[in-house]
Structure 1
Amino acid sequence: MNDTRPITDYGMLKRQLTALLDTRDWVTNTSQMAAFIFQQIPELNWAGFYIQREERVLRLGPFQGQPACNPIAFEEGVCGAAARTRQTQRVEDVHAFPGHIACDAASRSELVVPLIVDDRLWGVLDLDSPLPGRFSIEDQAGIEAMCQVLVAQSDLPTSI
């Protein structure tokens, strides 16, 4: 892990995100959150959402960064693993992850948080970094807390 990177104040980011998400509209809120995270969290090369729109398949949603892979089956990659297990995936070296999908060859580490609404997987938030080991346990907890804000302040449809 890069020990020289700046400390991110996730408490402050969570308060700012809470103020930013001033509508219940899920498209607006996920778009705002992807842009906010991409701008505020250092050393990312992609931030965005994949949404479950059909059985065991994720479809690309609002994002910031290079064009992305679409669709992603639950059996594929880090996003698929997060969707399948409903557990956050924090991967220090994506090239060592079985079944990794290389949408951007520059990506080296990944953090994927599943979003659960009414006990149903709505989708995942996916963050990529060009640095190996970019995401710490503190980053994971901070991003998970920000995802809770999104779920609480948005009308995320349980069927799309």
Structure 2
Amino acid sequence: MAYVLDLDAERREITYPDGIDVRLNGHVFRFPAELPADALDPLLADDLDLVGLLADLAKAEGGSAAGDMIELLFRRPSLPKKFLAAVKETYRILLGEEPYERFLSVKPSMADYVRLTKALVKVYGVELGKSFGLGGSSATSGETSSPTSPDTTTSTPDSSGADPDSPASSGSAG
């Protein structure tokens, strides 16, 4: 007998058989229940180099995350425009041509794009940084790191089974 991996068993279509409805400016747009693999292609395009930006941000030392991001964006002045185009192309892939044109006709704001993208990332369970191992632990700036707590505590008795210094309980003879 052959072993079968049933990839259909846990598909999101079971939970959302008709897709994911998104309401925007009085219109409803239906996104697929599962994120098609090719939907990420615009965001992973070599000319966008979003993965390179995320890697540079993960390697940045010191400063604030916002400050590091701004500095990295100044090194890539065409990135914001390319990124927005990639997001729009991703929505075109997800919605299909006609629904996407209808989506554009309601004139989504930048805030709409941000809210929708964040919500879809949560529903689809995809985060680019984590997908490429960029969301892990951060590197330390020194040669060695110190432990987060001492290796000994004063709350543990020196010998196993030692009687604690506490008043006798009501159930003990004393």
TM-score normalised by L of structure 2: 0.28
Task: Decide which structure has greater helix share.
Answer: 2
Task: Decide which structure has greater strand share.
Answer: 1
TM-score normalised by L of structure 1: 0.30
Which structure is larger by alpha-carbon Rg, 1 or 2? 2
**More relative contact order, 1 or 2 (CA 8 Å, 6+ apart):** 1
